[in-house]
A and B are shown apart, each in its own frame.
Chain A
Amino acid sequence: MTVGSRLFAEEVAYEPARPGGGPRLLVIACGAIAREVLAVIRLNGWSNVTLRCLPGKLHNTPRRIAERVDAGLREAEAEGRWDRVFVAYGDCGTGGELDRVVAAHGVQRLPGDHCYAFLAGVDNWLAMHEAEPRTFYLTDFLCRHFERFVIKGLRLDEHPELLPDYFGNYRRVVFLAQTDDPALVARAREAAAYLGLELEVRRTGLGDLRPVLERVAGGRQT
């Protein structure tokens, strides 16, 4: 199984190779943004940050995200070895349930409703959404896993007749690209064609993810 497949389907943990100084920070993240969180960790050379990812596929059953994050936070508390814990999720379709969980544990999460909001930058995303709410967003992760996450996850492979029920209201696809990868742009093009929508590509980089994580690692409030 590839790393990408594992991030989609399983819990995956990344411990620093040589744990270093500084407050020990645990980031509990969605597998869909594992690469991006790891990129921030590497860019900063942090050796005091551990990343634990929950399966990206939880997004197809968002009610389970809050309970899995809650379990992860309880486990972290029981371990008693973390100076700080941060939840790298947006609301992610939990309908505010994740906010209740993080508040109960006294920790914080990423800003915004979804990963595409904080990857685009929340203000940018809100402006984009205001301009055209009928937009379906792709990220690097969603391009990589479009077939598994969207086509199979929504059972469109078995029931293509459901496509209008899911996507009938959309007018365009915007690929919020975290990296410059022509292969992912090609996948985005295929995804847009499958949905019968126009594609727009916007390079976002890591958006709000990097400054927020840097504030957390520095011990400041987000």
Chain B
Amino acid sequence: MPDEEEIVLRELTDEELVKQMHDDLYDGLADEIVEGTTILLERGWSAPEVLDKSLVEGMRIVGIDFRDGVLFVPEVLLAANAMKAGMAVLRPLLAETGAERAGRIVIGTVKGDIHDIGKNLVAMMLEGAGFEVIDIGINNPVENYLAALEAHRPDILGMSALLTTTMPYMKVVIDELVAKGIRDDYIVLVGGAPLNEEFGKAIGADAYCRDAAVAAETAQALVRSRRAAGSQA
């Protein structure tokens, strides 16, 4: 049987190429994503346009199939690494555009928890959505969050946990923000496999985000809403 016909990315129309990039991202093909990104830039696409229509949209599709149990963690990691490869091409160009950031977020996994696959996906999708992301890593005690908030003055604090034993620590952080009288200075988003909306509300977060795409959408919506409220005040 003949091999599957090889697709030459340069021979595709823009529309076909973007669709092919969604497929390549889904299959975790980093080299193809870099090539597709480069071709679109050469054809005059702006970096934000390439990011939004090919990479972010591609990862959104991956996220849906992960949520629905079609894809699993290895496939999502491969897709994420492909997106990272594309982002590496776009990042310097995005910086050059000088476009206003969608907002700034400090994000980290809570104390006692070293799982960061989900948190890293969220950070990547937020960067894709135009946020400046300050990732403070894993196993963060409340002091780390407070120091990062003080140093970076973000719009959003994002916290992640994978374990039922570590997720209650999110409340420790929020309670400390309340005690210091700075809770309302930040939008607090929480996420992680054992969490749900009810838990998010119970600990006093502004929103629970069930996946990376939802996190990006929620972050954009809440920052817009806060800025609109601020401008009316």
A binding-site residues for B, Cβ under 8 Å: 60-64, 91, 93, 95-96, 113, 126, 129-130, 133-134, 154-155, 159, 161-162, 165-166, 169-170
CB pair A134 B165 closer than 8 Å:
no
Residue of chain B at shortest CB distance from A60: B72
Partner of B138, one of A155, A166, A169: A169
Identity of the chain B residue whose Cβ is nearest the Cβ of A134 in the assembled complex? B114
Is the CB of B220 closer than 8 A to any CB of chain A?
A: no
Assess whether A162 is in contact with B164, with CB atoms less than 8 Å apart. no
CA distance A96 to B112 in the complex (A): 18
Bound state CA distance, A129 and B139, in angstroms? Answer: 12
B 125-143 contacts with A by CB, 8 A: 138-139
The CA-CA distance from A115 to B62 in the complex, in Å, is 30
**In the bound complex, do residue B114 and residue A64 qualify as a contact, i.e. CB atoms below 8 Å apart?**
no
A-B pairs, top 7 by smallest CB distance, nearest first, are A95-B194, A155-B74, A95-B193, A169-B114, A165-B77, A134-B114, A133-B112
Known contacts A134-B139, A162-B78; A96 and B194 CB within 8 A of each other: yes
Q: Which residues of A contact B192 (CB under 8 A)?
A: 95
B residues 2-24 in Cβ contact with A at 8 Å? none
Q: Does B93 contact A (CB under 8 A)?
A: no
Determine whether the beta carbon of A169 is less than 8 Å from that of B77. Answer: no
Is the beta-carbon distance between B116 and A113 smaller than 8 angstroms? no
Q: Is B117 an interface residue (CB 8 A)?
A: yes
Measured CA separation A62–B112 after assembly (Å)? 21
CB within 8 Å of A: which B176-233 residues: 192-196
The listed residue with most B CB atoms (<10 A of its CB), out of A62, A154, A169, is A169
Q: Contact: A93 with B112, CB < 8 Å?
A: no
A-B pairs with beta carbons under 8 A, tally: 55
Q: Which chain A positions have C-beta within 8 A of B77?
A: 162, 165-166
Inter-chain CA distance A159–B76, complex, in Å, is: 13
Per the bound structure, the CA–CA distance linking A161 and B120 in Å amounts to 16
Kindly state the separation between the CA atoms of A39 and B215 in the bound complex, as whole angstroms.
Answer: 46
CA distance A159 to B165 in the complex (A): 31
- A112 and B82 CA atoms in complex are apart in Å by 36
List residues of chain B with CB within 8 A of the CB of A170. 114
Which of A62, A64, A113, A169 is in CB contact (< 8 Å) with B163? A113
With A113-B164, A161-B81 given, name 18 new contacts (CB 8 A): A61-B69, A93-B162, A93-B193, A95-B192, A95-B193, A95-B194, A96-B164, A113-B165, A129-B112, A129-B165, A130-B112, A133-B112, A133-B139, A155-B75, A159-B28, A162-B74, A162-B78, A166-B77
B113 touches A165 (CB 8 A): no
CB contacts under 8 Å to A, within B67-97, are 69, 72-75, 77-78, 81
Q: How far is the CB of A104 from chain B (nearest CB, A)?
A: 16
The chain B residue with its CB closest to the CB of A129 is B112
B139 A61 Cβ-Cβ under 8 A = no
How distant is B182 from chain A, measured CB to nearest CB, in Å?
A: 27
Give the CA-CA distance A162 to B163 in the complex, in Å: 22
Docked complex Cα distance between A91 and B77 (Å) = 24
B186 to chain A, nearest CB (A): 25
Residues of A within 8 A of B139 (CB): 133-134
Q: Which residue of A lies closest to B67 (CB)?
A: A63
How near does chain A come to B34, taking the closest CB pair, in angstroms? 15
Q: What residues of B have a CB within 8 angstroms of the CB of A60 in the complex?
A: 72
Cα distance A161–B81 in the bound complex, in angstroms: 10
Closest residue on chain A to residue B195 by CB atoms: A95
Closest B residue to A155 using CB positions: B74
